[in-house]
Structure 1
Amino acid sequence: MIIAGLIILLVIASVLFHLYSPWWTTPIATNWTNIDSTLSLTFWLTGVAFVLVISFLGWCVWRYRHHAGRVAHYEPESGRLEMWLGAITAVGVVFLLAPGLIAWGKFINPPADAATVEIVGQQWAWYYRLPGPDGKLGRADARFVTADNPLGVNPYDPNSKGNLIVNGGDLHLPVNKPVKILLRSIDVIHNFYIPEFRAKMDMLPGSESYFWFTPTKTGTFEILCAAYCGVGHSYMRGNVVIESDDDYQKWIAQQQSFTQARNGAGDRVRAAARGPGED
C-alpha cells in the first residue's frame, strides 16, 4: 500500500511541477511559433502517457499485493492485446513525429527573398560573413584558411571580394526580414544556437548546413554553442543584435570587405617583418 501510494504521489507531483514550474521556454523572438507548438504537443502526449503508465503501475502494485495463500496466475501470450498495444503505440509515434517533420520541412526551406549570412565556428569563437553590395557570397573552403584569411574564403572567386567579414564581435540583423543562416565549421563539430529564436543546427567540418528565421523583436540575443567542442566550449559565446533597418545599414557601412581585411592583414605582416624604425 505504501509503495502504491508513493507511485501515485510521484505522478501528482510531476504533473504539478510541470504546470507550475518557473523554468520554461524563453520568450520567442522569431517566426517559429510552430516549433513551440510542436514542443508543447510533445509534452502533452508524453505527459498523458506518463500519467497512464505510472498510474497503472501503482494500481497493479495495490491490486496484486501479497496475500497469504494467493498463487500467481499464468497468462499466455495474447495476440489481440499485442495488436492493440502496437496500434496505440504507432498512433502515438505518428502524432509525435508528424508535427516535427512538418516544422523541419519549413525550417530548412527559406523564402526566396531571404538574405544569406554565413556563420563560421572555430574553437572557440564565432565569425560572420555577409554579402557585399551585389548580394552574393563567394565560395569558401578550409584549404584557403590562412592567418589573413581565417574563414577560408576563396580569394579567386569574384563574388568574394565585396563580402563583409566580421571577426568576432556582434552580428547585426534587421528586424522583420527573413535571413538564411549558412553554417560552417573550421575545426570540430559545433552547434549554432539562439534560444529566443528556437533555432539551432550542427556545424560539421567539411560540410555546410543551413536554416532560416525572421527576427520579430529588436534587442540583443546570446549565441551559444550547443555541442561540446573542447576545453573552451563554455566560452564560445556571441551576440546577435536585431535592430531597425536604418541602424543595420549604419553598422554595415562600418564593416570591412574581404579585400580590405586581407590588405590590412598583409600590411601588418609586412610592417612586422620590416621591424621598428625601418621604411
Structure 2
Amino acid sequence: MELLRLGPLGHEIPVIRHDGVCFDLRPLTHDIDPNFFAADGIERARAALDAGELEPLAGADELRIGAPLSRPSSIVCVGMNYAAHAREAGAEPPERPVIFFKMPSTIAGPTDPLELPPSATKADWEVELGVVIGARAYRVASAEAGLDYVAGYVLANDLSERRLQIEESGGQWSKGKNLPGFTPLGPWIRPAAEVDPGDLRLRSWINGEVRQDSSTSDLIFSAGEIIHQLSQAMAFEPGDVILTGTPQGVALSGKYPYLADGDVVELELDGLGRHRQVVTVTE
C-alpha cells in the first residue's frame, strides 16, 4: 500500500495505491498533511479501502506525481550518519546525531525539474531514507520505542549547495540546504508496518553513472535511535519528516563534479520508488 499525491503543483489529489490502482482519498481527507497523520490517517485509509468506500481516480497515470505529503511543521536532518560518508568528507563518525533543519518550502516532487540559480555552483545530491512521524514524539524511552512513532517511510534527496553550506555557512549547515526544491520526496509513502528501515538498499546515479550504492544497515544511528535521542531535546509532531543521512559517493568527496545544467539525477530506495530529475540552471 502506498500514499501519493497526484496533480499540478498546489492542487495535488491525495490517493492510496493498492495492487497498482490509485484510489481517491478525498472522501476521507483533503490532503496528506499533519492533520491526516494526527488523525491516524493511514489506518483510516486502509479501512476505507478494505470496506470498498473509495473509488479509483480516473486518469491517475497521466497526472504529475507530487511530493507525497504537504506542510510538515519541520524537516529535521541527520548529517554524517554513514561512517564512509564521514570519512570522505574528512570527518570522524559522530558520537551523537549531528542535525540541521530544512524549510518546508524545499519540498518538491520526485520528477519535478531541479532548478538551480546561477550562484549554485556546488550543488550536490544525497540519497536518503526519510521517516514520516505519525504521533507526537517527546522524550521517547528507547530506540525500539522510537519506531512506534513512525507512520511511514519515503525516499528523499537531501540536496545541498556546498559553497553556502561550507564556505559561506557562518558555522552551520542549514544555509546550504534550503534553496527551493532542495528536498524532493516520493514518489510515495509506504506504511511503517511494510518496511524494515534497517536493511534497505539505496542508490544514486548522475547521467546514468552510479554514484552511491549502500544500505541502511550501515547507518551509524538507526531510525529508532535518531527518534529516541533527538526527542530528548525536541518534540516531533505528526507529519514531521526526518532525513536519516546519506552514504558515500557525493560530489563533496572530490571524486565527481557538482551538478550542472542538463544533468539527470536519479535515486532509488528498496520498496520506496525512484526519482528522476533534470537539472536546469535558471537566470
Q: Which one has the bigger strand percentage?
A: 2
Q: Normalising to structure 2: TM-score of the pair?
A: 0.26
Greater radius of gyration (CA): 1
Q: Which one has the bigger helix percentage?
A: 1
Q: Normalising to structure 1: TM-score of the pair?
A: 0.27
Larger RCO: 1 or 2 (CA < 8 Å, sep 6+): 2
